[in-house]
């Protein structure tokens, strides 16, 4: 049997076992900023640096089962509204010691949820990260870019928003995630035209200055759907 040049034989003397870990970039919006869940390492390598939640893949686990199990150690997985596989990170020198490949995931938590966290774990603004371990900052930034891309062509905003919200609240969520100011009027028009957004028929109390009580909206589905495969949200010119 022939062997590809890119797939060495299992009995090749230079082939060494490769470890496998799973990591998650868990994101939420709070105080109009995109935040990431990180835990502080206590042991070498990179003691005191901040890391993505995750760990070694168990011998009898799928990567999906493993990341949910390991996230449960940091945050109640029932509070995660969306989890998807992000990418595989396989640089030979990504961590010290024996080679370890990472399968990374994107996880989202809605803005109205504040899960209880262990003492070594907290939220950090993605635009002002502390010193992170290994290649975790790069993985986290890849998770942010995946989120931003999907906000253009899917209804993934449902995973960041509470069940009901005003258009201005939704505008603030999209603005924080995308990194630029979004027009509330345009956002409502685009999402409504795509069938992703609907009015609840309810309102919230008007502000101190009075005026018309703001209407409450919701996403028509809280499952991920492609709403416009070719759409791209861009900063105002």
Query: Which of 96, 127, 151 is a domain's end point?
Result: 151
Q: Do both 103 and 147 map to the same domain? A: yes
Q: Do both 214 and 133 map to the same domain? A: no
Per-residue tokens: 179: 């990194």
Q: Do both 41 and 130 map to the same domain? A: yes
Write the CATH number for 146: 3.90.79.10
Q: Do both 140 and 41 map to the same domain? A: yes
Q: What is the pLDDT of residues 146-202, one digit of tens each?
A: 999 999 999 999 999 999 999 999 999 999 999 999 999 999 999 999 999 999 999
Residues 95/21, Cβ–Cβ less than 8 Å: no
pLDDT surpassing 90 at residue 79: no
Q: Do both 66 and 173 map to the same domain? A: no
Q: Do both 83 and 164 map to the same domain? A: no
* Range(s) of the domain holding residue 159: 153-219
Give start and end residues of each alpha helix (H) in the chain: 63-71, 136-153, 167-178, 184-193
Q: Do both 95 and 158 map to the same domain? A: no
Phi, psi (5° rounding) for residue 6?
A: -95, 0
Query: Which of 151, 174, 197 is a domain's end point?
Result: 151
Q: Do both 76 and 104 map to the same domain? A: yes
Q: How many residues does the chain have?
A: 237
In a domain, 231, yes or no: no
Give the pLDDT score at 4: 45
Query: Is residue 122 classed exposed, middle or buried when 0-12, 13-18 and 19+ CB atoms within 10 A define those classes?
Result: middle
Q: Which residues contact 197 (CB under 8 A, 6 or more apart)?
A: 188, 191, 217, 218, 219, 220
pTM, two decimal places: 0.90
Residues 46/97, Cβ–Cβ less than 8 Å: no
**pLDDT tier, 8 (very low <50, low <70, confident <90, very high otherwise):** very low
Per-residue tokens: 195: 């069938």
Q: What is the pLDDT of residues 200-233, one digit of tens each?
A: 999 998 767 667 889 999 999 999 999 998 888 8
pLDDT surpassing 70 at residue 13: no
At what angle are helices 184-193 and 167-178 packed, to 10 degrees? 100
Of 79 and 106, the structure prediction assigns the larger pLDDT to 106
In a domain, 126, yes or no: yes
At what angle are helices 167-178 and 136-153 packed, to 10 degrees? 140
Q: What is the pLDDT of residues 85-140, one digit of tens each?
A: 999 999 999 999 999 999 999 999 999 999 889 999 999 999 999 999 999 999 99
Please give the tally of structural domains in the chain.
2
Q: Do both 52 and 135 map to the same domain? A: yes
Write the CATH number for 172: 1.10.10.10
pLDDT surpassing 80 at residue 15: no
Across the chain, mean pLDDT equals 91
């Amino acid at each position: 049997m022939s062997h590809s040049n890119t797939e060495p034989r299992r009995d090749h003397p230079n082939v060494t076992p490769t470890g496998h870990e799973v990591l998650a970039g868990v994101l939420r919006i709070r105080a109009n900023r995109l935040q990431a869940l990180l835990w502080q390492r206590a042991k070498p390598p990179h003691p005191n640096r901040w890391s993505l939640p995750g760990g070694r893949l168990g011998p009898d686990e799928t990567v999906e089962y493993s990341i949910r199990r390991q996230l449960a150690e940091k945050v109640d997985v029932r509070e995660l509204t969306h989890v998807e596989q992000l990418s595989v990170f396989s640089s030979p020198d990504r961590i010290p010691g024996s080679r370890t490949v990472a399968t990374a995931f994107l996880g989202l938590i809605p803005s109205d949820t504040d899960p209880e966290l262990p003492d070594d774990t907290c939220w950090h603004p993605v635009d002002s990260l502390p010193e992170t371990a290994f290649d975790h900052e790069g993985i986290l930034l890849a998770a942010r870019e995946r989120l931003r891309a999907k906000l253009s062509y899917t209804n993934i905003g449902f995973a960041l928003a509470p069940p009901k919200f005003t258009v201005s609240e939704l505008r603030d969520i999209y603005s924080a995630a995308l990194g630029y100011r979004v027009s509330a009027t345009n956002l409502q028009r685009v999402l409504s035209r795509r069938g992703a957004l609907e009015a609840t028929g309810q309102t919230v109390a008007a502000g101190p200055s009075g005026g018309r009580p703001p209407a409450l909206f919701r996403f028509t589905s809280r499952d991920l759907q492609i709403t416009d495969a070719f759409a791209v949200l861009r900063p105002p010119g």
